[in-house]
Amino acid sequence: AQTVTQSQPEMSVQEAETVTLSCTYDTSESDYYLFWYKQPPSRQMILVIRQEAYKQQNATENRFSVNFQKAAKSFSLKISDSQLGDAAMYFCAAYSGAGSYQLTFGKGTKLSVIP
């Protein structure tokens, strides 16, 4: 079984500044995938970024990037030049496919952006 832990229930960032959301995971599998999803007040869960564990290079998507530390089982999300539209719940998730097609989610971090 895999677990995903987000230790920051809430965070805030000043508009245009940079913020990092933390995520740690635990899995016994060597092949797995990590995701960050964003859920704004509109409720739709939107994929932000995806990282394959076998890739050493950190994934990036425009203002969003990850710091993937495989040995430490850490997968943090960095949001640069924060915008008001970035305010949302952010969920870290892991998939390993070991006998299950389950995507395991963390409890989420609520990000507020201060104008």
Which positions touch other proteins (CB under 8 A)?
Answer: 4, 33, 35, 37, 42-47, 50, 52, 91, 95, 97, 100-108
CB of 16 to other proteins, least distance (A): 28
Cβ-based nearer residue to other proteins, 46 or 114? 46
Cβ-based nearer residue to other proteins, 6 or 82? 6
Cβ-based nearer residue to other proteins, 13 or 106? 106
CB of 89 to other proteins, least distance (A): 10
The residues, any chain, with a CB within 8 Å of residue 77's CB and separated by 6 or more, are: 20, 21, 23, 36, 48, 49, 64, 65, 66, 90, 92
Whole-angstrom distance, CA of residue 62 vs CA of residue 71: 26
- Report CA-CA distances (Å) from 8 to 24, 29, 78, 89, 90: 11, 25, 14, 11, 10
CB of 15 to other proteins, least distance (A): 26
